[in-house]
Amino acid sequence: MPDLTLLGLCGSLRRESFNRKLMRAAVERFGPATFVDGNLRLPLLDVDVETEQGIPAQVQELADQIARADAVVIACPEYNKGLSGVMKNALDWVSRTKGNPWRDKPVAIMSAAAGRAGGERSQYSLRLCLNPFRPRVLPGPEVLVGNASEHFDAEGRLTNQRHLDQLDELMGELRKIASARRD
């Protein structure tokens, strides 16, 4: 049977994004898989553009990647106590494509943030924003990397054992659900 396909979405476009580093750690801990790095550098949703020009190619590509993935991992920063605009823009664009690629999709979410709470409110708001599409967002364990700059080494590797253990459990669960859907 071919490898599972794991799609990664990072809600930060920053080159040295801690959320991207966290996402990479999660992908490693998922185990053998074909990894697809989703591109959230999309134009801002403008329904006039959609009406006049249709769905942008990179939005359709993202929707197709979600549809094809066996599982999705999302690492999203907290911006002003909510999910990032980059992430919300992507969710809104994908909602304009045909079908619903999120339906029943196993999804693991996580966050790294400067604040002590590690992006807890970002995750909460992300859950609410995913709800309309009815994916299977794992309820936990919550992976919240607070004071993020203290928890990655010079190579961008996550260093805290508690976070690594939580990631192992979350990604193990994601793998189990994704594999069961294949059977």
Ligand X SMILES: Cc1cc2nc3c(=O)[nH]c(=O)nc-3n(C[C@H](O)[C@H](O)[C@H](O)COP(=O)(O)O)c2cc1C
Site residues, ligand X (CB under 6 A)? 12, 14, 17-19, 77-81, 112-115, 119, 148
* Beta carbon nearer to ligand X, 19 or 65: 19
Min dist CB 21 to ligand X, Å, is 8
* Beta carbon nearer to ligand X, 23 or 178: 23
| Dihedral pair phi/psi, residue 50, rounded to 5° | -60, -45
CA distances (Å), origin 36, targets 11, 23, 81: 15, 12, 28
SS (H, E, C) 78-100: EECCEECHHHHHHHHHHHCCCCC
At a CB cut-off of 8 Å and minimum separation 6, what does 165 contact? none
Min dist CB 31 to ligand X, Å, is 24
CA distances (Å), origin 118, targets 76, 115, 126, 148: 10, 6, 14, 7
Tokens of 97: 């494509």
Min dist CB 119 to ligand X, Å, is 6
Min dist CB 92 to ligand X, Å, is 19
Amino acid symbol at 93 = W
* Beta carbon nearer to ligand X, 48 or 153: 153
CA–CA gap between residue 137 and residue 139 (Å, rounded): 6
Min dist CB 108 to ligand X, Å, is 17
* Beta carbon nearer to ligand X, 77 or 135: 77
Taking CB positions, which residue lies at the least distance from ligand X? 115
* Beta carbon nearer to ligand X, 83 or 138: 83
